[in-house]
Structure 1
Amino acid sequence: MAESMQERDDVLTCSICMERFRKPVMLTCQHSFCRECIALYAEKSKPVQTDETSGSTGNEDVHQLIACPVCRSPTSLGRKGVAGLPPNFQLAEVVQRFSSGVTVEDDAPYCSLCEEGNHVKAVKFCTNCGVFYCEECLAICHPMRGPLKRHQLISPLEYLSQETSQGQVNRDHQSTQQPSCARHGQPFGLYCEPCRMVICMGCVVEHQGHAMRDIPSAAENEKPGVLSRTNELEKVLGETKESLSGVLRLHSKIQENQELHTEEVEKAYCAALEALQAWRQHSLDGIRTRYSQWSVECSAILKHLQLQAQEMERMVQASNDLLASMDVEFLQGSTDFTKTYV
């Protein structure tokens, strides 16, 4: 117990001032220090230029690089300096909890599987399942045998004491990457082989008697089948691509022939149109010539007939006038009429 208390104090102690953290901030390497301590440390460190500012013209901001006091990894302070470093709120919360006199055991989380209204303090936390267990639920739902034998169980004290920067980053990464059961809200931790589905610890009761595996070994067991299917699909894909290339070549040839035949039809059409236009012009010229000649001849005949009609009209008028005259005048004029019109 004394060793655990010592480990807890080490976790909550700044490695610069060797006291409990005050307003802890994180460096790029995820190590945390008091804001005031890292500010003093940065003032004593020699400022250097980053790669982004090397070769600057003098107008750019020069960002100071500091080496982590623990692992010596570089961290760029940026334009805001130490004020721009992200605070470690989780670590600050744990420090405040211990400073207020509340022990981890008193503030331990409840079992995640106990029914509502019957909450029991957890005694173990599974880092693989992400679930807190009381003694009863641990024995029923998480026996350390079979696929669960590989899971890591830690105490709530260890879980809450691991509120360091790196531990929090790992848990955040796990919570964002690992899917959870929609029914129970717990991360998937097992694979039911008969049902061929991943399940959480809350689903174990529904799958009692089924052969189960932990997810990593189940994934390794399923990979050969998926790999074989992938190879088959790649083979089919290759054949499909080859067929696709053939169809593309055929399609290109069809378009080429279409353009060629279209051009031939256009040429034939233009030639036929030109010949038709020539025949039309020749026919129209012949019609105009013939009908012009016939029109001239018809006009001459018409004029001749008009003159004859006029002369006949004069003869008829003279005859009528002679007939209407007195007998003496008629006899005198008939001789001249006969001579003129007979």
Structure 2
Amino acid sequence: MAESKENREEVLTCPICVQTFRKPVTLPCQHSFCRECIAVYADKSKPGQTDEVTCSTGSEGVHQLISCPVCRTPTSLGREGVAGLPPNFHLAEIVERFSSAVKVEDDIPYCSLCGEDNQAKAVKFCTDCCLLYCKDCLASFHPIMGAMKRHRLISSQEYLSLETSQRQTSGRDEQSTQQASCPRHGEPFCLYCVRCRLVICVGCVIDHPEHAVRDIPSAAENAKPAVLNKTSELEKVLQETKESLSGVTRLYNKIQETQELHTQEVERAYCAALEALQAWKQQSLDGIKTRYSQWSVECSAILQHFQLHSQEMERMVQASKDLLASLDVEFLQVSQTCTISTIGSAASAPVKYFN
């Protein structure tokens, strides 16, 4: 890119002054020079170098003859001299475009992060970081992923346009503090058209024929009462709104206080009910334990009595069976001591516990 720029500068450089062309003109040999440079060159040429020609009208004249500074081709300047050389409009347009491009390129600001010893031209500007980045610093310190993913990057040219627009806006703000003037005529606004409801200058009066026109102070004074009345109405509405707001605020605070009181009452009632329920539970459990413990003791005593009585009955049954299996003589002898009535009374003894 540097070589391309140097080549363009060389092509657009006058061979005489070695500067960018200024109002270039072209000789018949197609070499171009600055009009001023070729004029100075012609003045320094030898006065004896002339060219005698015959005009179309038959008149003769002596024209200055110069050699092209590049190819040394003889050139007759004609009756008008250097002023008659044809201007090279195409070359002038190229020079203008190149100058504009160079100006823009030269105006590009430097990177905000590079050191002063090796400061490079910026290629991007981050509207979030408010910093200018060259190509290397952009890759190193402003990654496209992570926290800076959503940052907005604009080109250096857009940054310059942004700076220009901000400066213009600042200029408009400064102008707004000064007396307003008509953009069309440049005169200060001093009149007011009642029909169009516009402020105008003296030059604008012709555009408002047969319209009622007043000076700005009296028109403003005449319009102020309506604004004052409207302001009073707004102030009254504002006062009523403030009063309503105050009432609603008090109501809101009362609701919050009442809610807190009711919440505390429910909490206290719940705690009291929980304590009462726990006391009833403990009392009930203690009563059940006491009653059933007593019943268990009584039942255990009865169970032990029946176990002993059962064992006694088993011995008596076994003795009775043994008696029946003995010889008749033994049976008759033993039966005298153990009667049937004794066995029956023994068998009916436990019934008293279930009456």
TM bucket (normalised to shorter chain) is 0.3 to 0.5
TM-score under structure 2 length normalisation: 0.34
TM-score under structure 1 length normalisation: 0.35
The structure that has the greater radius of gyration is: 2
